[in-house]
Chain A
Amino acid sequence: MTETLIAHPGARLPEPGPLPNRLQLTDDGQLRHMLTIEGLNRELLTEILDTAESFANMNEKAVKKVPLLRGKTIVNLFFEASTRTRTTFELAAKRLSADVLNVNINTSSAVKGESLLDTLRNIEAMNVDMFVVRHEESGTAHFIARHVAPGISVLNAGDGRHAHPTQALLDMFTIRRHKGDFTKLKVAIVGDILHSRVARSQIHALNILQTGEVRVVAPCSLLPANVDQLGVHVYNDLDAGLKDVDVIIMLRLQRERMEHAHLPSEHEYYQLFGLTSRRLQLAHPTCLVMHPGPANRGVEIESAVADGPHSVILEQVTYGISVRMAVMSMVMGAHQA
């Protein structure tokens, strides 16, 4: 199938190649955009994690700044509320010496007037170098990457239910720091898989890194169709799903899941799928507990677990900066190469 979208004048056309990488990789396999984890290879993921490692060491020092992106302008284009992701992207950009512009757009008002493409064109006209985009509709980062002027990179900071690649990368970074080799690990992702872009990106990343076993644990009403085809073992029982796992990733449960009849109540969900101290004992004794945040205490996770010795939830936030610095510096490098 050929590209039939009306391209930006002078915009590069995606090269033929395996989906979905003809957009996000250059001819020689470097990152041009970061849209999705899907389809990246193990070498590239490892390179990102290694680069993040060097930034992590720097981030622990007194002077936390390098001039890698000096003179570059990075725009945080957020159509959906976010605190953690936006601020860590902002800090990452600043530690790379880039100028940062935060644009928060309330989608309801954006829908009425300006189209997404108009917004993009206007900001593009200010000679920016990178867009960090979050949007409630799946595929938005792909759409923007197709239409930006050559030389501008697009980083996906979350699109609908589709992908949140830097979140998955920081999760992999956290796991690698604690566990090293992925091939012997059992990882369980628990909760609302159906609506989760985080889970989709994590599943791709874990599989690319050849994780021993990737499990998803959820009631059938929160599992997407054919989820097994993503390369996971499906569990509907939390106790069974946690048995001997090395990493537990809990997902946030949105309140509206009750309104749309996915679940009867938070109470019953917590009874069946909440991570409690008792259940944690079913996992491997050195198990990590992770959560992309913000956590609903008493809905998907017990406070004692979220704050307990197994929890690396705050480390995830810290590493998010290093990982985003790595991705930003790599995509800019690909453009300059």
Chain B
Amino acid sequence: MSVLIENARILDPVDGYDTIGSLCVQGSEILARGQAPDGFEPRRRIDASGLWLIPGLIDLAARLREPGQEHKATVASETLAAASGGITSLVVPPDTEPPIDSPAEVELINRRARQACGVRVYVLGALTHQLEGQQLAEMAALMNAGARGVSNANKPLASLLVLRRALEYATTFGLTIVLSAQDPALTGSGCMHEGAVSTRLGLAGIPEAAETAALGAILALVEQTGARVHVARLSTRRGAEMIAKARAEGLPVSADVAAHQLFLTEVDVAEYDPNCHVIPPLRVQRDRDGLRAAVARGEISAICSDHQPHEPDSKLGPFAGTEPGISALETLLPLTLRLVEDGLLSLHDALARVTTGPAEILGFAQGRLTPGARADFVLWDPATMQEVHREDWLSAGHNTPFFNWTFSGQVRETWVAGRPVWTRPSEDTA
């Protein structure tokens, strides 16, 4: 089908494109950006006056809870939530139950995704067998089944030797290894940042060194092996500085940050708010500002949701006993654009952190609006204020600290492969 979307403000971070014009969609691809080619006869015309047209977001970390934890969420529920948040591609970490450590789990998730709303779902394969950190997973088989990279999620590895061998083996196939920088012993039973607030609340803290010590080891092994490593979910200013330095020295490393880390700090834990229980933890303002600066400079090249939906019972208890994580698909784009309002970075740079940035990290072709690209895009209404409410929330997980936050703008429509996968109900847009 051919579609012409007219009068939109087309924003493409891949080349800084910013023009009010038309986007021509032919089948599942973009035919032209700006002006329709002569003779283009669309079957459908859409007037997008007043709206922005941006590439669909690519989210590097979203737990869909399938297989194994369908009481929390499903591929169907979460891909729809993603679509409503402007996300058109998402990457599932391997810590499902069972973990994604064989082609069977990859195929299962792919099958569920095909039955869902149409958002593209990718997986990371396990780095080690059952994520146990001892024996390598069959990475080549996982890659051939479609895994976009390998990771041990937040699970520890038995030793630096296992990490070294895993990096070497993955490099054989050119696989990107996604690692979280968390020293398991220094993290211990910690449930929030170790600092003034953990001291006041009497909660076991996770020191900054849990991240920097692990990151130091990772960077040393990247230098040793030449492996292509992506460091997931930085939480400290010092960690961001270490990544910046390593990149400046030419090491093949990249990093991302969860959107909530750019807005919240340990102070938001307040009186044991379990919705602010996340791993790695919310840290101090100095860290938040350092992470923001690294995002602005592009040293952190991707912002992800780190979406972790939970059923209510998981968050119902004394803080340390609650499960960590935020349901975050629906706030990724609003929070990212809030950074522009805060004057941190340009609109194009902000969009790049959720489109071209993550695309580059895992080698995706989408995340752009250039002719020939996949027709994954979002129509964003910048003029309508949006207050985040439980009633409008689509994720099965209601665990977010962002309810009642107000954002300027909202997603109007989300398209994947040339067809709409989500449209805001009309009564909301009236």
Q: Is the CB of B272 within 8 A of A143?
A: yes
Nearest CB in chain B: distance from A166 CB, A: 16
Smallest beta-carbon distance A57→chain B, Å: 34
Q: Is A115 a contact of B196 with CB atoms below 8 Å?
A: no
**Contacts known (A1-B268, A137-B321, A229-B196); A115 close to B202, Cβ less than 8 A:** no
Question: How long is the Cα–Cα vector from A108 to B401 in the complex, in angstroms?
Answer: 30
B270-292 residues at the A interface, CB under 8 angstroms? 270-276
| A142 and B270 within 8 A (CB) | no
Are B202 and A200 closer than 8 Å at their CB atoms? yes
Q: A137-B321, A143-B317 are in contact. Are A225 and B203 (CB under 8 A)?
A: no
Please measure, in the bound complex, the distance between the C-alpha atom of A1 and the C-alpha atom of B402, giving whole angstroms. 8
* A227 interface residue (CB < 8 Å to B): yes
Contact status A117-B316, CB under 8 Å: yes
The answer on a CB contact under 8 Å between B202 and A116 is no
Residues of B close to A143: CB separation below 8 A: 272, 317-319
The answer to whether B271 touches A142 (Cβ under 8 A) is yes
Q: A32 at the A/B interface (Cβ < 8 Å)?
A: no
How many angstroms between the C-alpha atoms of A226 and B404 in the bound complex?
32
Distance between Cα atoms of A148 and B203 in the complex (Å): 23
Q: Are A226 and B270 in contact (CB under 8 A)?
A: no
Given A4-B403, A115-B317, A117-B317: A139 touches B203 (CB 8 Å cut-off): yes
Across-interface contacts of A115 in B (CB, < 8 A): 313, 316-317
Q: Cβ of B174 < 8 Å from any Cβ of A?
A: no
Once the chains bind, are B317 and A116 in contact (CB under 8 Å)? yes
Q: In the complex, which residue of chain B has the Cβ closest to the Cβ of A139?
A: B272
A90 within 8 A of B: no
Q: Which of B148-201 contact A (CB under 8 A)?
A: 194-196, 198-201
Looking across the interface, which residue of chain B has its beta carbon closest to that of A116? B317
B residues near A134, Cβ cutoff 8 Å: none
| Contact code string A127-166 (vs B, CB < 8 Å = 1, else 0) | 0000000010111101100000000000000011111000
Known: A137-B320, A139-B272. A225 touches B198 (CB 8 A): yes
B366 at the interface (CB under 8 A from A): no
**Which of A6, A38, A142, A161 touches B312 (beta carbons < 8 Å)?**
A6
Size category, A interface: 20 to 34
| B residues in contact with A205, CB < 8 Å | none
Task: Confirm or deny: A180 has a beta carbon within 8 angstroms of a beta carbon on chain B.
Answer: no
- A217 CB to closest chain B CB, in angstroms? 17
Question: How many Å lie between the Cα of A119 and that of B196 in the bound state?
Answer: 32
A4/B400 in contact, CB under 8 A: yes
By a CB distance below 8 angstroms, the chain A residues around B99 are none
Contact indicator B318/A224 (Cβ below 8 Å): no
Kindly list chain B residues whose C-beta atoms are within 8 Å of the C-beta of A227: 199
A229 touches B199 (CB 8 A): yes
Contact partner, B199, options A20, A23, A137, A225, Cβ 8 Å: A225
Say whether B319 contacts A138, CB under 8 Å: yes
Contacts of B205 in A (CB 8 A): 224-225
Q: Find out whether the CB atom of A138 lies under 8 angstroms from the CB atom of B200.
A: no
**How near does chain B come to A78, taking the closest CB pair, in angstroms?**
15
Contact partners of B274 in chain A: CB under 8 A = 5
**If A115-B317, A143-B318 touch, does A224 touch B199 (CB 8 Å cutoff)?**
yes
Distance of A139 Cα from B321 Cα, bound (Å): 10
Query: A160's contact among B202, B313, B315, by CB below 8 Å, is which?
Result: B202
Q: Which of B202, B207, B400 contacts A161 (CB 8 A)?
A: B202
B199-243 to A contact mask, C-beta < 8 Å, 1/0: 111111101000000000000000000000000000000000000
Complex CA distance for A324 and B201, rounded to whole angstroms: 23
User: With an 8 A cutoff between CB atoms, is A125 at the interface?
Assistant: no
Judged by a CB distance under 8 angstroms, whether A19 is at the interface is yes
Cβ–Cβ contact B271 & A20, under 8 A: yes
Contacts of B204 in A (CB 8 A): 161
Residue of A nearest to B404 (CB): A2
Q: A5-B274, A19-B270 are in contact. Are A197 and B202 (CB under 8 A)?
A: yes
Find the residue from A23, A135, A139 having the highest chain B CB count within 10 A: A139
Q: State whether the Cβ of A123 lies closer than 8 Å to any Cβ in chain B.
A: no
A2 and B403: CB pair below 8 A? yes
Is A240 in the interface zone, CB < 8 Å from B?
no
Interface residues of A in 185-201 (CB under 8 A from B): 197, 200
CB–CB B401/A4 < 8 A: yes
Residues of chain A within 8 A of B202, CB atoms compared:
138-139, 159-163, 197, 200
- Since A4-B403, A225-B199 are in contact, a sample of 8 more A-B pairs with Cβ atoms closer than 8 Å, ordered by chain A residue number, is A5-B274, A5-B316, A19-B271, A139-B319, A160-B202, A224-B205, A229-B199, A230-B200
Question: Can you give 5 A-B contacts (C-beta < 8 A)?
Answer: A2-B403, A23-B271, A115-B316, A161-B203, A162-B202
Q: Which 8 A-B pairs have the closest CB atoms?
A: A162-B202, A161-B202, A139-B272, A137-B318, A138-B202, A224-B199, A226-B196, A140-B318
